[in-house]
Chains A and B, each alone.
Chain A
Amino acid sequence: MSASAFVAVLSAGWAPVLGVQLQGGVEVVLRPANEVSEEQFERAIEIIRNRVDAIGVAEPDITRQGNQVVIQLPGVKDKQRAVDLVGQTAALEFRPVAGIYPAETNPADLGLSSESLALLTDIDSDSLTELTLSDIITDSNGDEDTVDSEVLFTDKAGAYVYFLNASELTGDAVENAAATFEGQWIVNVEFNDEGAAGFDRMASAYFGQQVAIALDGVVESSPTINAQEFGGTAVISGSFTEQEAKDLALVLRFGALPVEFEQDDVRTVSATLGDGTLRAGVIAGIVGLGLVALYMLFYYKLLGLVAVCSLAISGSILWSIIAWLGERQGLALTLAGATGIIVSIGVQVDSNIVYYERIKEEVRRGRAVRTAAEKTFSGAFSTIVWADLASLISAAVLYQLTTGTVRGFALYLGIATLIDIAVSYFFMRPLVVVIARKLVGEKPKRIGMSHIDAEVTQ
């Protein structure tokens, strides 16, 4: 069964997903600086996820652990930018629209002077003629320095690029926003006192024009201003679906300041260092396994062979589970997890040793190897289960109460311990019994006991 699972996993092309420490990349732990509501926290994580998707990381792992967000971006190229991106507070801005262009428009067609263009983008103005607008959109995630300048932002789908004036209002102005159905889906926006005045100022200046609501440099919506005075409330209507209206309300409510994060732990691992650690770990693991196998074969002879097979079986099950966790749950194998696995080699081998020592003891008392193998299993198995239960308790406690490194370790230790119990029962016992019956017969030497042993006690 385990063999078929292993083959299935291999043929599906699944491989364990390696964590940041093992392949290089960025790991950031964030914690809200102030008390935040559950809804705000979830929304903030959603925004981080969107930002990470925007930089294109192959296997991002963004999880919430208690009051922290752990972001793992293995293999990410521009590490410093990634760190900047995930840590910043989301910026919601209201910017008057100066122009909307298809994304593939050439910057030259905007009719701007090269000086104005240079303000919009870092790209050398000489090469602008070969690019499209989508190549030069302003890199803004609420940077202070872009608030007062004109920018090029894209829409959500990336089909159009908006040429926007300086920010008139930020999300601080919004008191509340809700999606309601009044014949069609609309969004009611409520401003605070300061925001109401600012919004009216903008409305009178840009009456009849479009104003873009931009979050993190992406235009969420660009309604047309149809009044000069709003008195603190505004209605945004359009052909919204229910979902669109609710999303926009959420953006308005939390977009500006969902959560201000503190960067608790920021770590970048260069690809070479990660690679070195991985190689060292794998080689050390293989050498360690080899030594254990040799020792078991030397000491227990035929029974040692069973131990080696048990290890192989456990290993293939573990590989399947790790690969499954990586592919389906987005859970990466960390350095601590890998250590938990190396440690579990010891636990697995011990189960074999507990059983074999009992067999030898019975044989010394004059029992045949065959019957000894059958009779001693229940006693040995109960020892194995009781001892494994202690490991499981510690793994569960650690998993529940800790974060980060220790948690990863606890997870893999727990999995490996469960596998140990299953393999001991369903694999080790039948194989030992068969070997005792077919291959050992009445020759205790074949399980690593000298003849004298048996003769002395008989």
Chain B
Amino acid sequence: MYRGDNKWDFMSACRRVAIGSAAVVLVCLIAILARGLNLGIEFEGGSVWEIPAKASVELETIENAALNAGLTDSRVQKITGGEDIFRVRAGSTSIEKENSIVSTLATAASVDAESISTRAVSASFGDQVAGKARRALAVFLVLISLYLTLRFEWRMALGALVALFHDLAITVGVYAIFQIEVTPATVVAFLTIMGYSLYDTIVVFDRASENKKSLSAKSRITYRNLANVSLNQVIMRSINTTITSVLPVVSLLVVGSLIMGATSLQEFAIALLVGLVAGAYSSLFVAMPIVTVLKEREPHWVAMQEAADIRGTEDTSSEAAALLAAGQYKRNVSPRPRKIGKKR
């Protein structure tokens, strides 16, 4: 693999893998429907106070203080890692009460009122944020489908969209299963994942369509093998890209959140980590196989498949690769051809 001349049969493998993928997506969808998402105050409205936690102050003290301040429906958490904080979340409160709540909490936690961070979101705003995100998502999907159809073809657009759905279902599913709070930051991460997944998929498709162009009319190769060769050509790139994309995110998660204790960074990092891995996987094992299945129904590729069946020996990937390489260089066997075929 390190040498990069691997000849894996992705297309055969993906049948088995597909069942696993489908099962995981199903579990995630059930989790989303059954457990729902733990939405942050940005979507539901409400207030949050974040108070530096001194070691001597008990969680109960803060809970009582919240009750004294008139917060009957509050939920108090202690968030550890780096600098510990108490996080008090409650429904909407009036602006007038804000000052007295902050000072009550500050006294209970024996900290300065200025060191408390607060946030209050109106419920109507939350609806608006969610509505905007949904609309942006819809427009995004339509534009991307158009773009992929124009650049490649509708089959590839469909493959890319299924892969996108797969990645998103898994990432959102993780949030539903572990009940991690969903904030606008998380939504940003979800969108990033879609971007990455798409980017990965485009790199694969680009290679497949480039390979197809390099074929001469007489080349006898099935689409299945063309796809296999293309995937083998881009797999090292996929692995390396995923590693280099995951490294900063892991560092954000480990250094940023666990050691330094910045919880707002965690929101991004978990979604990104899950989504990046899912995205790299889906462009290889979901997007391309779907395109292959669709393409194999085209008359040209049906004929190719029949021809291969008649020959009896099923094309192996290495033969296909050789064919492709030959096609690309106009069957010029010289290691340094003078003339290069036009490439895109």
Contacts and interface: CB of A to CB of B under 8 A. Distances in A.
Interface in B157-209: 184-185, 187-189, 191-192, 194-196, 198-199, 202-203, 206-207
Interface string B128-164: 1100110110011001100100010000000000000
A262 interface: yes
Contact of B265 (A284, A371, A375): A284
Interface in A408-458: 409, 413, 449-450, 452-453, 456-458
B20 interface: no
A289 B136 contact: no
Given A265-B42, A280-B257, A393 B143 contact: yes
Contacts of B257: 280
B340 A375 contact: yes
Interface stretch (A134-142, A153-161, A181-189, A358-366): A358-366
A335 B264 CA distance: 8
Nearest to B99: A80
B118 A401 contact: no
Contacts of A350: 199, 237, 241, 244-245
B290 interface: no
Of B99, B151, B189, B199, most buried by chain A (CB within 10 Å of CB) is B199
A453 B3 contact: yes
B192 A343 contact: yes
A295 B244 contact: yes
B95 A272 contact: no
Interface in A362-421: 364-368, 371, 375, 378-379, 382-383, 386-391, 393-394, 397-398, 401-406, 409, 413
A389 B42 contact: no
B311 interface: no
Given A264-B125, A265-B125, A343-B272, A401 B135 contact: yes
Contacts of B327: none
Contacts, number: 267
A89 to B, nearest CB: 13
Contacts of B254: 284
B297 interface: no
Contacts of B124: 31, 262, 264
Nearest to B239: A353
Nearest to B263: A277
A357 B42 contact: no
Interface stretch (B25-33, B58-66, B109-117): B109-117
Of B236, B247, B260, most buried by chain A (CB within 10 Å of CB) is B247
Contacts of A202: none
A63 to B, nearest CB: 16
Contact of A402 (B119, B133, B264): B133
Given A271-B114, A397-B136, 5 more contacts: A263-B95, A281-B256, A284-B252, A285-B252, A288-B252
Interface of B: 2-5, 42, 50, 52, 82-83, 85, 95, 98-99, 102, 114-122, 124-125, 128-129, 132-133, 135-136, 139-140, 143-144, 147, 151, 184-185, 187-189, 191-192, 194-196, 198-199, 202-203, 206-207, 210, 233-234, 236-237, 240-241, 243-245, 247-252, 254-257, 259-262, 264-265, 268, 272, 276, 325, 335-336, 340, 343-344
